[in-house]
Amino acid sequence: MKDRSLKKVLTIGSGPIVIGQAAEFDYAGVQACRALREEKIEIVLVNSNPATIMTDEEIADKVYIEPLTSESLEEIIKKERPQGLIATLGGQTGLNLACELYDKGILDKYNVKLLGTNIESIKQAEDREMFKNLMTQIQEPVPESAIVSSYEEAVEFSKKIGFPIIIRPAFTLGGSGGGIAKNEFEYGEIVHSGLSQSPINQVLVEKSIAGFKEIEYEVIRDKNDSCIIICNMENIDPIGIHTGDSFVVAPSQTLTNNEFQMLRSSAIKIVKALKIEGACNVQFALDTTSNRYFVIEVNPRVSRSSALASKASGYPIAKIATKIAVGYNLHEIKNAITGKTAAFEPSLDYVVTKIPKWPFDKFSTGDRMLGTKMKATGEIMAIGRTFVSSFKKAVTSLEERYTGLLERGFKELGDEELLKQLYMQDDRRIFRLAQALANCIDINKLNEITKIDKWFIYKIKEIVDLELELSKTNISKELYIKAKEYGFLDSEIAKLTQTSIEDLKSYNVEPSYRLVDTCAAEFEAYTPYFYSTYSEDDEVEEYKEKSREDDKKPKENIVVLGSGPIRIGQGIEFDYCSVHAAQELSKHGYESVMINSNPETLSTDFDIATRLYFEPMNIEYVANIIKKEKPKGVLVQFGGQTAINLAEKLNKEGVKILGTSLESINATEDRKIFEKVLRELQIPQPKGCAVTSAQGALNAVKEINYPVLVRPSYVIGGRGMQVVYNDEELLTYITEAFKFSSEHPVLIDQYIEGQEVELDAISDGRDILIPGICEHIERAGVHSGDSMSIYPSRNISRKNEKILVKYATKIARKLNIKGLMNIQFIIKDDKVYVIEVNPRASRTVPIMSKVTGIPMVNIAVSAILGKSIRRAGYGVGLYKKSNLVSVKMPVFSWQKLNRIDPALAPEMKSTGEVLGVDRTYKKALYKVFLAGGYKFKNTKQRVLVSLNDHNKKPALPVIKKLFKQGFFIMATWGTHKFLEKNGIPSKMIEKFMIDKLQKRMKNGRLSFIINTPTTGKNSQNAGFQIRTIAQMYGVPSFTSIDTANAFLTAHKVFDKNTQLTYDTITNYRKKKFLGLFK
C-alpha cells in the first residue's frame, strides 16, 4: 500500500536533450508527476530544460528551472524538505545526481528517502565491477571482461583476450566514450576517451561478442518481489551497434519459446537479485547457433527502451514504476487501458518497428559509422499487423526524401562494391541490404556479412520483391491491395506501376484502424490508440460509440499534427506545443485527435488526446486519418516544420487548415511575396532574393554584395544554411542546397552582422500579445537555435522596442495571423530589420510561456477557435516584465558525433537547451553555464586563443577581460602578434603543434578555447582539428567571441564567491514586494 508518510516528493528531470537522453524522460517525468498527483502528493520538480512539459506549473506543484547540480539540489531540499526523492525517472542524469546526493550525505542530512530502487541496487547495477560480481554470484553469464582505470591495465587485458574488444565507460549515458576496437591503435584511442569521460575514471573492457542477437527485456518489480516483463524487444542489428542506433522490433521475432523464456527468467532473476523497485531494462546477447547467452547490461531506471516498450505495448511503465516507488505493489494497481490489474504482461497482436533518426543529413561531414556509441537524436515507431507492413511504415515515418527501400542510390553500385559496402555498419546499411536482395545476392551470404537474422532478410526480401513486381506488372486491384497491406504508399505504387494516383484511388481501398489495447483483444479496452492496416475490420466507430458518454451528442473533433522524430532543429518543444494544443481543444468542447510517430514523447501517450493515431507523419497516412475522422479542421502550427510542410498537401485534399491560412504561411516562406508584404508595410529587411539556378545566384550577389547568407526555403533548423564570402563558396553551397530540396528555390540574403532579436506572439488576427522580447548574445550569423538568448532584452532601446512591437503587429494583421508567430529581427546602427517570420509555434514558445507565465499555446488555440485574445486576461501588445531574468543556452552533443565542426554557424547544430533563471542577469548567466555542464575552477588555467582576421578587432575587449581575470593566454601565431601589438601578453603556440595541445587537453591543463573559425568547411584546417580534439576531451571551445565574453562574465560571478539562491519559476515571476511578504 501507499507509504502514508509521503506528503512531498522531489523529482529530478534529465536536463537538456542530448543524444542518448531525449524526450523519453520528459514523457517519463510527466507520467510520474501525474501518478503522484493521483496520490495527492505534493511534487517538487527540478529540471534545467525549459522545453519540457514536466516543467509546466500544472504538472508539478513547485517547478524549479535550475541547474541540475548537487549544490542546487541541496539548497532546494533544504528549502522544500521533501520526504522522498524519485531519481529513476530522470535518465542517467537523475540517477547520477541521486548517487551524488547520497554519497555527500545530503539525503541523510535532510531525511530524504530515496523512493523506488535503493542506492545500493543502483550502484550494483551501474558499477561494472559490482555488477559483474553479482552476476557471477547468481550464475548469470557475462562476457569476459575487466574493469580498468588506466591504459596499462587495459593493455594487460587485451594481451590476454585478443581483439576485437568492446570498451564501455562507467556512468556515462548512451555509451558515450565507448566503442569497439579491432586493433591496438583503436584500442588506445577509445580507452583514453572512455577514461576521460567516465566520471569515476573507469571503463569496462570486454571480449566482443559482436554478431550475437541483441535482445532486451523491460522488467518491473515491486517490493513484494512480484516481477513482470512488459515487453521484450529484438534488435534487427546484431550486437555491436548501440541499441539506440539499431532497428528494433517488438516483440522478438526469431526466438523460440525456450529462448524467450530462458532470457525472461534470467532478466527476472537479475532484477530480483538487484532488488529493483520499479522499472529496469536488461540487455542480452544471444548466440545464433546455440542457447548460449550473455548479460550485457542493466539500466536500473526508466530508459529510452522503456519508453519504446510503453508505446509498443500500451503499458505505462513510468507511471507504474512511480506507484511502486510510493509504496504500492503491482497487484494493487490498475491497468488504465483494460481496467484490469497492472500485474500482467501485455500481449501484442501487431508488430512494432523502431528506426533511429540520425543527424547525418545535417552533418554531411559527420562519421556515419555506427557502433557502441549512440548517434541518433531521436526515433520513430511504426505499428503494423505484420512485420513487413510495420517495417515499411517505419521507413516512411523517417520523413526522408525517399520512402522506398531501393531509391537510395545503391542501384548503380555493382554487386562487388555493394557487398564491400555491406560490411560497413552505418545508417544506410538496411538499404544496401535491400539493394543486394534486389540484385539477387544469396541470402546466406548477406546473413554472413551483416549478421542480421535470415528471417528479417527474408521479410525485407518480400518487400523488395513486391517493389520489383510492381515495377514490372500492370496494376490490378488485387496487386494494389497486396501492396497496401505491405505498407506501400500510393505515391510509390503509382510511380512503380506508372499509374496515376487517381486511378489507384478509384479502387476504393480504404485502410482500417485497429486498437493497441495491451491484451490482444482478450479484454475490452477503454483508452487505446490506433494504427492503420488493410483488409481488416475497422475499430474506430465501434470505439467512439463505446467511449461516448450516455445520451451525449457526438462532439466535433480537431486534428493536431505532431512533429515526428526528435532531430536537430525540431525537438521536444514542438511536442510541448502539440500536447498543450490537444489539451486546450477539449476545454473548448472538441475532441482532439493526435497524429504522431515518435515513441519518446508525451504526445503519443494514450491519454493526452481524445484519440491517438500512431502513424507516419506522411501526407497519405494523415489524409486517410482525416478522411476517417472528418474533423472540423487541422492544426498545423504546433508540430514544427513537419506539420507545416503537410499544410499545402492537406489543403489540396480539401482539408481545412485552422488558424493562419495557407496563403499566409506561403507568404512568409515565399521570398517574393514576403518581400512584397514587408515593402508594403514599410518594414526594412535585408536585401535578398530567391534563385532557382546557379547563374541566377551569381547575378543576385552583384546587387546584394558579399557577404551573403544562402539557404534553401522550406527546411528545418536552417539546414544547408551558410554565410558565404565569394563566388566560389557561393557556387559550392548552391549545389549543396539544391541537393536537399530541389522543389523549392534557394534564398540569398544580405548578411547583416548586428544584434539579433526574436519574439513570439499570439494573434487573433486583430490584436497581438507579445509575452516578451529576447535578445541573442551572439551577433547575427549564428542560428537562433544555437545562440544564447536573454529575456528580457537588455540592450534594446525603448524606441526600438516600440518599433519591434509595431512591426510585429503590422505583420500579424496583414497576414491575418491566427495563433502563434515568431519573428526574428536584426538591429544594426539603430535600424530594425525583419529577417524571418515563422507563422507557427517556435522553439522558444515553451520558454516564453514559462518565464512570463502566459500559456501561449492555450491562448493560441483559443484564438484559432475564434476567441479574442483580449479575453485571455493578459492584455494585448508587449506584456509587462517581471523581476525574472533568464538566459537560454544551447547544448550540443559533440561527444557523440565524430568529425563534426563544433563552430557556431547559421546552420543549427545543438540538440537541446538549458535555462538559467534568477533575478539578476549575471546570476542567471552563471546558472545557465552551470546548467550547461561548464565547470568553474578556482585555479586559473590556460586558455587557447585563436582568432580569424575578421574577429581580431571585435575580440580585443574580451581578450583583455580574459587577461584581467587572470587567465594565462596561449595564442596562435597571428593572434599572438595581434595581442602583442595591443599590449596583451600571451604565449605563442604553433598551430601545428596539435599533439602537444592534445596532451594538455587530456591532462585537463587547458580550461577552454576561444577559436573563431575561418570560413569554409575544410576539415583539414588546424582550427577545425583543434576544435574537434577539444570536443573529444570535453574542453569547452567558444567559436563566437560573444559566447566567450558571456562565459567570462559568468566566471566573474563565480570568482566573487557569489552564493546562489534557488526559487520556483512562479516566485521568480512575482514582483519583489510580493517576495518580501512570503
Partner 1 sequence: MGTLILEDGSIIRGESFGAQKELKGEIVFNTSMAGYQEILTDPSYAQQIIVMTYPEIGNYGINNFDFESENPQLAGFVVKNYSKHDNHYQSDKNLSDYLIENNIPALYGIDTRSLVKKIREIGTMSAWISYRDLDDDEIKQKLKEIQGFKVKNNIIEDVSTKEKYIYSSSGGINMAFIDYGAKTGILNSLAKRGCRLTVFPATVDSNEILEGNFDALFLSNGPGNPADYVYQINQIKNLTGKIPIFGICLGYQLLALAMGAKTYKLKYGHRGGNHPVINLENNKVMMTSQNHGYAVDMKDMPKLMRPTYKNLNDDTLEGFEVSGLGIYAVQFHPESKPGPLDAGIIFDEWINIAQKDIKRINEVQNER
Q: What pairs with residue 466 in β-bridges?
A: none
- Pick between residue 224 and residue 692 the one whose CB is nearest to partner 1: 224
Binding partner 1 (rule: CB under 8 A), the pick from 176, 246, 329, 396 is: 329
| CA–CA gap between residue 267 and residue 328 (Å, rounded) | 22
Minimal distance, residue 478 CB to partner 1, in Å:
13
Q: Considering beta carbons, is residue 436 or 494 the nearer one to partner 1?
A: 436
Q: How many residues bind partner 1 (CB under 8 A)?
A: 52
Minimum Å gap between C-beta 239 and partner 1 is 17
Q: Exactly one of 95, 330, 625, 925 binds partner 1 (CB under 8 A); which one? A: 330
Select the span of 342-350, 407-415, 579-587, 946-954 touching partner 1 (CB under 8 A): 342-350
Residue 774 in contact with residue 825, Cβ under 8 Å?
A: no
Residue nearer to partner 1 on the CB measure, 142 or 229? 229
Rule CB under 8 A: choose which of 275, 428, 454, 922 binds partner 1: 454
Which ranges of 853-981 would DSSP assign to H, the alpha helix? Answer: 856-864, 921-931, 949-964, 973-981
Does position 836 bind partner 1 by CB under 8 A? no
Q: How far is the CB of 517 from partner 1 (least distance, A)?
A: 9
Closer to partner 1 at the Cβ: 323 or 810?
323
Q: Which is nearer to partner 1, 535 or 1061 (CB)?
A: 535
Does residue 252 bind partner 1 (CB under 8 A)? yes
Residue listed under C-alpha cell 506507484: 323
| Residue 648: all three cell numbers together | 499545402
Residues in the chain: 1078
Which residue among 523, 714, 725, 963 contacts partner 1 (CB under 8 A)? 523
Taking CB under 8 A as the rule, does residue 354 contact partner 1?
no
By CB under 8 A, tell whether 526 contacts partner 1: no
Nearest to 293 by CA among 128, 445, 142, 466: 142
Residue 313 in the binding site for partner 1 (CB under 8 A)? no
Does 519 contact partner 1 by CB under 8 A? yes
Tracing cell 537562433 back to the chain, one arrives at 784
Which uninterrupted H or E stretch holds 438? helix 429-438
Region binding partner 1 by CB under 8 A among candidate stretches 142-150, 295-303, 453-461, 931-939: 453-461
521 binds partner 1 (CB under 8 A): yes
Among 261, 364, 471, 795, binds partner 1 (CB under 8 A): 261
Please check whether residue 233 is in contact with residue 309, taking contact to mean a CB–CB distance below 8 angstroms. Answer: yes
SS3 933: coil
- From 18, 351, 622, 1035, residue interacting with partner 1 (rule: CB under 8 A): 351
Q: Does 2 bind partner 1 (CB under 8 A)?
A: no
Q: Which three cell numbers stand for residue 550?
A: 450516455
Question: x-or-dash pattern for partner 1, window 364-393, by CB under 8 A?
Answer: ---------------------xxx------
Closer residue to partner 1 in complex, CB, 537/743: 537
3-class DSSP string for 500-553: CHHHHHCCCCCCEEEEECCECCCCCCCCCEEEEECCCCCCHHHHHHHHCCCCCC
Residues contacting residue 849 through CB under 8 Å, at least 6 positions apart: 771, 855, 856, 857
Shortest distance (Å) from residue 515 CB to partner 1: 8
Q: Of 69, 149, 201, 226, which one interacts with partner 1 (CB under 8 A)?
A: 226
CB atoms under 10 Å from CB of 268, counted, come to: 17
Question: Of 409-417, 493-501, 517-525, 809-817, which part binds partner 1 (CB under 8 A)?
Answer: 517-525
Please give the Cα distance from 300 to 321 (Å, whole number). 11
Instruction: Single out the residue of 169, 251, 359, 754 in contact with partner 1 (rule: CB under 8 A).
Output: 251
**Count of alpha carbons within 13 angstroms of residue 331, beta-carbon side:** 5
Give yes or no for residue 711 binding partner 1 (CB under 8 A).
no
DSSP helix/strand/coil, 704: helix
Q: Does 549 bind partner 1 (CB under 8 A)?
A: no
**710 burial class (0-12, 13-18, 19+ CB within 10 angstroms)?**
buried
Between 114 and 230, whose beta carbon lies closer to partner 1? 230
Q: Which stretch binds partner 1 (CB under 8 A): 200-208, 452-460, 942-950, 1041-1049?
A: 452-460
Q: Quick check: 347 binds partner 1 (CB under 8 A)? A: yes
Q: What is the DSSP string of 819-880?
A: EEEEEEEEEETTEEEEEEEESS--TTHHHHHHHH---HHHHHHHHHTT--GGGGTS-SEEPP
Q: Which stretch binds partner 1 (CB under 8 A): 8-16, 63-71, 326-334, 873-881?
A: 326-334
Cβ neighbours for 86, distance < 8 A, ≥ 6 positions apart: 9, 10, 11, 12, 32, 115, 116, 322, 325
Q: Is the dihedral of CA 327, 331, 334, 335 positive or negative?
A: positive
Is 313:250 a contact under the CB 8 Å cutoff? yes
- State how far the Cα of 319 lies from the Cα of 698, in Å rounded to an integer: 58
For the bound state, the minimum distance from the C-beta of residue 276 to partner 1, rounded and expressed in Å, comes to 15
Distance CA 13, CA 19 (A): 16
- Measured from the CB atom, the residue of 1 and 1076 that comes closer to partner 1 is 1
Q: Which of 128, 207, 213, 264 binds partner 1 (CB under 8 A)?
A: 264
Cα 249 off chain centre by: 21
* Residues 195-224, interacting with partner 1 (CB under 8 A): 224
Show the site string, 287-306: x = touches partner 1 by CB under 8 A, - = not.
-xxx----------------
| Grid cell at residue 797 | 532601446
Q: Is 692 in the site for partner 1 (CB under 8 A)?
A: no
C-alpha dihedral, 727 to 730 to 736 to 737, nearest 10°: -140
Which amino acid makes up residue 221? R
Q: Distance between CA atoms of 572 and 846, rounded to whole angstroms?
A: 10
CB of 389 to partner 1, least distance (A): 10
Please report whether residue 343 would count as binding partner 1 according to CB under 8 A.
yes
Q: With respect to partner 1, which residue has the nearer C-beta, 333 or 1022?
A: 333
Q: Is 520 in the site for partner 1 (CB under 8 A)?
A: yes
Among 130, 132, 113, 133, smallest CA distance to 122 is for 130
Q: How far is the C-alpha of 943 from the C-alpha of 1007, rounded, in Å?
A: 6
Q: Is 253 in the site for partner 1 (CB under 8 A)?
A: yes
Q: Would you give the distance in Å from CA 962 to the centre of its chain?
A: 34
Nearer CB in complex with partner 1: 351/655: 351
- How far is 187 from 180, CA to CA, in rounded Å? 8
Cβ neighbours of 37 (radius 10 Å): 15
**Minimum gap (Å) between residue 206 Cβ and partner 1:** 24
867 binds partner 1 (CB under 8 A): no
Name the residue nearer to partner 1 (CB basis): 253 or 741: 253
Check: CB of residue 844 under 8 Å from CB of residue 758: yes
Position 439 contacts partner 1 (CB under 8 A): no
Decide: 314 and 518 in contact? Cβ < 8 Å. Answer: yes
Region binding partner 1 by CB under 8 A among candidate stretches 9-17, 286-294, 872-880, 889-897? 286-294
- 478 contacts partner 1 (rule: CB under 8 A): no
Q: Tell me if 440 contacts partner 1 by CB under 8 A.
A: no
Candidates 137, 139, 258, 1057; binder of partner 1 (CB under 8 A) is 258
CB of 132 to partner 1, least distance (A): 25
Residue 514 in the binding site for partner 1 (CB under 8 A)? yes
344 binds partner 1 per the rule CB under 8 A: yes
Pair 381, 354: CB distance under 8 Å: yes
Residues in contact with partner 1 by the rule CB under 8 A: 224-226, 228-229, 251-258, 260-261, 264-265, 268, 288-290, 329-331, 340-341, 343-351, 385-387, 453-455, 458, 514, 519-524, 535-537
